[in-house]
């Protein structure tokens, strides 16, 4: 008998389609990845590289000042720790002398048969618990009581100095950690700057040099303008001084004598500062250096003023706080000019809008316009 059931329709599988789709997506992803790898982002322009390098050098300058401050603090703290340890050793000797004196009294009492309870007291490492016993104190002679008092005094002083030494050592350890961090930060920033510069082509390096020349030319133009302004201001001041002298019949000479003497003293110091700075021109910038073979910016200014008999602090952040603040228009030779908002650079003003400074790694001590970098402010140390 023939079957009256309808034939079952065949089910179409979609597996091949899924496989093709997956393969297609994989191919697209692979092509996209290869395309992205083959086409990196746009290369930064020379101007962008210059700005980045300048910023890295400025950051390195800031880290250098942090290094200088930590190094100076570390040296000071090390000297303090050494002095405290010497003091602790000296007091330990005095404490041992006092202990030996007590031992002598204890031995004498032992020989005389009166050891108890004094012997325990005299030979104990911590006799404090016995000091409140009045009957013990009554048995002691005045010399014995003085020996015990000396012992207690030396014991307390020794403990105090040991505590101070421990605290100073902890501070020194923290400062040395800051020193290491600052050193690593400087090296990192300088390494990044060198890497950026090393990737430039010969043509890009030439363009970068041209940008630098234009920047220097503009800075020198501003320096010449300042020189003209200062010359005009000086001429006007001299004219008014002459007129005042004529009106007073020359009698004002005595009144201005002290001022002239003061100015001549300041001028003599400034001449020594500049003479020293000029003698260092051509020596390399090295971060953290204070001479005589190399300098960083604040190391040069410190050494120059020391040559004039004036001690100034080590870092730019401390140097900017000394002396008298002066406006840019009122700058005189020998004044210190500071740069950037973070006060990470300093130079010595030589007149006519120019300065002598230790610029940055890879450069030597040289003369340059004060307008080459953004000015923060200026001081006259003495």
**Interhelix angle for 297-307 vs 46-112, to 10°?**
70
| 324 a catalytic residue | no
> Which of 189, 272, 345, 380 is labelled catalytic?
345
CA distance 301 to 355: 11
Q: What Å distances lie between residue 77 and 70, 81, 137, 161, 186, CA to CA?
A: 10, 6, 43, 15, 23
Task: Assess contact for 341 and 331: CB atoms under 8 A.
Answer: no
> Which of 88, 179, 273, 297 is labelled catalytic?
297
* 292 contact partners, CB below 8 Å, separation of at least 6: 303
| 4 a catalytic residue | no
**What's the token pair of residue 42?**
């746009």
Task: Assess contact for 280 and 291: CB atoms under 8 A.
Answer: yes
> Which of 99, 269, 357, 380 is labelled catalytic?
357
Enzyme catalytic residues: 297, 345, 357
């Amino acid at each position: 008998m023939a079957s009256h059931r309808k034939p079952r329709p065949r089910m179409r599988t979609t597996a091949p389609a899924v496989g093709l789709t997956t393969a297609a997506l994989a191919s697209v992803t692979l092509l996209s990845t290869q395309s992205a790898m083959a086409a990196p982002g746009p290369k930064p322009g020379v101007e962008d590289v210059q700005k980045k390098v300048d910023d890295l050098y400025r950051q390195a300058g800031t880290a250098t000042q942090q290094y200088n401050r930590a190094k100076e603090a570390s040296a000071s703290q090390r000297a303090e720790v050494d002095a405290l340890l010497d003091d602790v050793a000296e007091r330990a000797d005095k404490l041992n002398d006092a202990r030996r004196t007590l031992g002598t009294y204890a031995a004498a009492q032992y020989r005389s048969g009166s050891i108890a309870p004094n012997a325990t007291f005299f030979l104990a490492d911590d006799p404090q618990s016995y000091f409140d016993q009045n009957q013990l104190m009554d048995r002691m002679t005045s010399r014995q009581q003085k020996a015990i008092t000396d012992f207690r005094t030396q014991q307390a002083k020794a403990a105090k100095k040991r505590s101070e030494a421990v605290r100073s050592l902890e501070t020194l350890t923290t400062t040395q950690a800051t020193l290491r961090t600052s050193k690593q930060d400087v090296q990192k920033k300088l390494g990044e700057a060198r890497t950026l510069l090393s990737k430039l082509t010969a043509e890009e390096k030439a363009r970068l040099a041209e940008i630098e020349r234009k920047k220097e030319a503009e800075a020198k133009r501003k320096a010449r303008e300042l020189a003209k302004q200062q010359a005009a201001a000086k001429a006007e001041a001299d004219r008014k001084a002459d007129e005042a002298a004529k009106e007073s019949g020359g009698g004002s000479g005595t009144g201005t004598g002290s001022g002239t003497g003061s100015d001549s003293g300041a001028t003599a110091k400034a001449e020594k500062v500049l003479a020293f700075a000029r003698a260092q021109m051509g020596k390399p910038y090295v971060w953290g250096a204070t001479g005589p073979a190399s300098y960083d910016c604040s190391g040069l200014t410190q050494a120059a003023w020391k040559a004039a008999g004036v001690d100034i602090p080590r870092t730019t952040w401390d140097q900017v706080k000394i002396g008298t603040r002066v406006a840019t228009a009122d700058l005189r030779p020998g004044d210190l000019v500071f740069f950037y908002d973070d006060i990470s650079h300093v130079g010595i003003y030589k007149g006519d809008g120019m300065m002598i400074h230790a610029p940055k790694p890879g450069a030597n001590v040289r003369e340059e316009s004060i307008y080459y970098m953004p000015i923060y402010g200026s001081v006259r140390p003495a």
